[in-house]
Chain A
């Protein structure tokens, strides 16, 4: 195999993504798990970028790394439950009986085998379409052109949807309206 920088970068980025995804599950403190999740999202953005999906990579960084991770961190920080925050809570005792062996080793192994089997079947059955010509060019420009010509109504409806979400969040989050308006 020739030395292909794109392939090397893909392997590095996806390896980091897999390792940090594993750390999300195994990290002892949930705050650390959330930060590992952010790293996983960032590396996925790198995978998108290597596939030539620049807009998807930008959206991934902005929405997943920026917004979703922030919301998760806020959810942890606002939480009062000691077991969520890992404050003074003893780690759950690990039981070494047959049931836990089944749950911790056999079931995950079965799930992994089933997933690998499905993916192998999918890869062998599906006929992959060739990459359309012109892709790998300026995809952001193509998306922008489509967004402001054919899809302009959905685009403006997205603003309405965001507005509804914003107002809904404010209505739900702010309960003590009467008291606040005096101050």
Chain B
């Protein structure tokens, strides 16, 4: 069973290796000449004002919460997708009930105007 994950390991190593190799080549090839003007964050030639790390708008938080709820839902979709062929229509209907209950929440969020960016 585990040998099926050899591919995953190869992908993982190839991806990490590509990033590291690219950065290493860049470090070897590029000139290294930092001076204060160059180290300033680039804002189309303007001199930046204030801190780069400002508190983000609290409105992003609701999107994170929505994401978490539907993330948990996806966990249940996993075993469902595996046994769907075997259990057939029965499992399909049950999952539709499950999903409709959660989509209710999304509709509620929509109607409350949570998803609107004002």
Q: Report which A residues bind B (CB closer than 8 A).
A: 5-6, 9, 49-50, 52, 55, 58-59, 62-63, 66-67, 70-71, 74, 77-80, 85, 87-88, 136-138, 140-141, 143-145, 147-148, 152, 155-156, 158-160, 162-163, 165-167, 169-170, 173-174, 177, 180-181, 183
Residue pair A50, B2 in contact (C-beta under 8 Å): yes
Q: Which of B67, B78, B90, B112 contacts A58 (CB 8 A)?
A: B78
| Other 10 A-B pairs with CB < 8 A, given A63-B71, A74-B56, A167-B108 | A55-B78, A74-B60, A87-B53, A141-B82, A148-B94, A162-B102, A166-B108, A170-B108, A170-B109, A174-B112
Instruction: Provide a sorted-by-A list of 10 A–B residue pairs whose CB atoms are within 8 angstroms.
Output: A9-B9, A63-B72, A77-B56, A78-B56, A138-B82, A141-B86, A148-B80, A170-B105, A180-B113, A183-B118
Annotate B71-86 by CB proximity to A: 1 below 8 A, 0 otherwise: 1111110111011001
Residue pair A70, B105 in contact (C-beta under 8 Å): no
Q: Which of A58, A80, A162, A180: most chain B Cβ within 10 A? A: A162
Q: Which of B9, B68, B78, B114 contacts A70 (CB 8 A)?
A: B68
Residue pair A67, B105 in contact (C-beta under 8 Å): no
A80 to B58, CA, bound (A): 11
A140 to B78, CA, bound (A): 8
- List of B residues within 8 angstroms of A67 by Cβ: 67-68, 71-72
Residue pair A140, B79 in contact (C-beta under 8 Å): yes
Interface residues of B in 41-97 (CB under 8 A from A): 51, 53, 55-56, 58, 60-62, 64-69, 71-76, 78-80, 82-83, 86-87, 90-91, 94, 97
Residue pair A173, B66 in contact (C-beta under 8 Å): no
Tell me the smallest distance from the CB of A77 to a CB of chain B, in Å. 5
Is B104 engaged at the interface, CB distance under 8 Å to the other chain? Answer: yes
Q: Report which B residues bind A (CB closer than 8 A).
A: 1-2, 5, 9, 51, 53, 55-56, 58, 60-62, 64-69, 71-76, 78-80, 82-83, 86-87, 90-91, 94, 97-99, 101-102, 104-106, 108-109, 112-114, 116, 118
Tell me the smallest distance from the CB of A62 to a CB of chain B, in Å. 5
- List of B residues within 8 angstroms of A174 by Cβ: 62, 112-114
Residue pair A173, B65 in contact (C-beta under 8 Å): yes
Tell me the smallest distance from the CB of A83 to a CB of chain B, in Å. 13
Whether A78 touches B67, Cβ cut-off 8 Å, given contacts A67-B72, A183-B118, is no
- Chain B residue with minimal CB distance to A84? B55
Residue pair A77, B98 in contact (C-beta under 8 Å): no
Whether A180 touches B69, Cβ cut-off 8 Å, given contacts A52-B1, A77-B56, A140-B78, is no
